[in-house]
Structure 1
């Protein structure tokens, strides 16, 4: 692949553990951080069609195996970071914007309905890809349209209605599309309490979740009518460890890296939790986390 005229940064055999919230993972064959959206389009256009691509924001809800990723990782956090107001209720947000930043800025503009973004530990691109949510809110409930990029680098806008969405799931109208931006719609914050609600939510999160320790956020989806954390705790797994990977004693739906965990330890613990809850409660917990790459 020719790199002439590309303005971004390409690294070879780049360790991904430094870019994931779990702080684990082997190297990516190639790691590209584009200079901007135009550079990203040019880079995508030059990639071979058979090349595997891993799109990465903050690396939350992502487990990279210890053997690394055979392909190209594209990093958009800090690059696709535009966030601006369109009109009284709509905002334009690029995929690399941290969800917490989105929540706080929308609230400061006197808009409500975006407070839940403060509880999503990633970027908008990842939130769009999995319909991430927190505190009863979901990403696609506020999406009006999205901007996507295809393998050939072509960028186009699509209405939200072009996608099928559900609880922690999003189905695109065709394969090999990645989110680069979205238009989101909110409502006027008539009581002026959106910033206060965010502060309460963050305080509740700090009190109930292992904030500050390497994790991916919630590991499993909540099954209908129940909570994954309750089922895991009922199975006696709070504090259970494999290597340096531990089911958090503070919140059972979090797996934390106690210092030197391997991706294999975390994946083994995910499997053990699923098997145990299936055996004790007859419930199959579905992981929210995406697991990619090769074993060591």
Structure 2
């Protein structure tokens, strides 16, 4: 359940929105703290947070929202850093109505709010192979579609059949795999589209063997990544032919800290909030890492974590 904010740094837009959208069924919250909704557990508030009841409700909202009003989609908050000044405009978050998963034979349909790990587990229990890699990816299906999420030798593009989404004007679209314009950690679909559900194709397999594969992925992830910490996942994209963590390590950044923000000792392409780090601390640390890597290797690292809002 969304918590009532303690302060109101932005002007309240809720009254005007309700007047313009009398049939809206989803939840609207003014000046909603976002820190608790992100894996870093820090950052500012959203001027408006909207949780639609279903795809039609989302479409209705976007059709009637002022086109000049900025909109940001918030998934599981895993690869996201919300700056301390918060986000002016509307943040849309897909809640429980978008978390359903249905399986027929080797075809899997999942709402964009479903967690990647839950989809992998559901497929394994149903004896559907080909989606185990999602066990090692934090986040939701919507975010995975947007960034062509991948791990352990596989990517979303390898198993996606089609997906649905709503554009900034409220129009509903269906996208085939080819329509997505996938590349490394990127989808070519317009950034204004909010994905609502996806259909994946797996292959028949033995549930026990698939679960064993997933357990191996889980154990490998635990050994090599700072799981169960306040982190945002991989901080920087791997440059062509290089590994970001190796460049960061070679630049002497393993364990580097600014306040409670630290480069992980276990995997130095992860930033950690040890408790009281601000978004500014984490971003400054990331920029210091980028500067040192550029100085030592000549490579400019590209952020994989999305940084949003005002400082």
Fold match (TM-score > 0.5) = yes
Q: Deviations over 1:137-191 (max 9, x none)?
A: 111211111101012322221211112111101111x452221111111112258
Q: Does 1:290 align with 2:297?
A: no
CA RMSD of superposed structures (Å): 1.4
Structure 2: 5+ residue stretches without partners: 1-16
Confirm or deny: 8 A CA contact 2:161 2:200 kept in the other structure. Answer: yes
Confirm or deny: 8 A CA contact 1:142 1:184 kept in the other structure. Answer: yes
Q: Does 1:128 align with 2:145?
A: yes
Give the one of 53, 56, 61 matched to 1:38.
Answer: 56
Corresponding residue of 2:250:
234
Q: Partners of 2:233 and 2:30 in 1: how far apart? A: 29
Deviates more, 1:257-266 or 1:35-44: 35-44
**What is the number of equivalent residue pairs in this alignment?**
293
Confirm or deny: 8 A CA contact 2:234 2:270 kept in the other structure. Answer: yes
Deviation of residue 68 (structure 1)? Answer: 0.6
Q: Deviations over 1:48-107 (max 9, x none)?
A: 11111110121111111110101101111423112112x422111110000000001111
Confirm or deny: 8 A CA contact 1:83 1:94 kept in the other structure. Answer: yes
Give the one of 64, 72, 78 matched to 2:90.
Answer: 72
Matches within 5 A, 1:1-296: 1=17, 2=19, 3-85=21-103, 87-172=104-189, 174=190, 176-189=192-205, 192-295=208-311
Deviation of residue 17 (structure 1)? Answer: 0.6
Structure 1: 5+ residue stretches without partners: none
Confirm or deny: 8 A CA contact 1:95 1:124 kept in the other structure. Answer: yes
Confirm or deny: 8 A CA contact 2:261 2:272 kept in the other structure. Answer: yes
Cα gap change, 1:175 to 1:129, in 2 (>3 Å)? closer
Q: Partners of 1:78 and 1:67 in 2: how far apart? A: 28
Q: TM-score scaled by structure 2?
A: 0.91
Q: Secondary structure at the match of 2:231?
A: coil
Q: Partners of 1:178 and 1:57 in 2: how far apart? A: 10
Q: Partners of 1:223 and 1:156 in 2: how far apart? A: 33
Q: Deviations over 1:192-227 (max 9, x none)?
A: 511111011111111211111101111111223332
Q: Secondary structure at the match of 1:92?
A: strand
Q: TM-score scaled by structure 1?
A: 0.95
Q: Secondary structure at the match of 2:241?
A: coil
Confirm or deny: 8 A CA contact 2:124 2:207 kept in the other structure. Answer: no
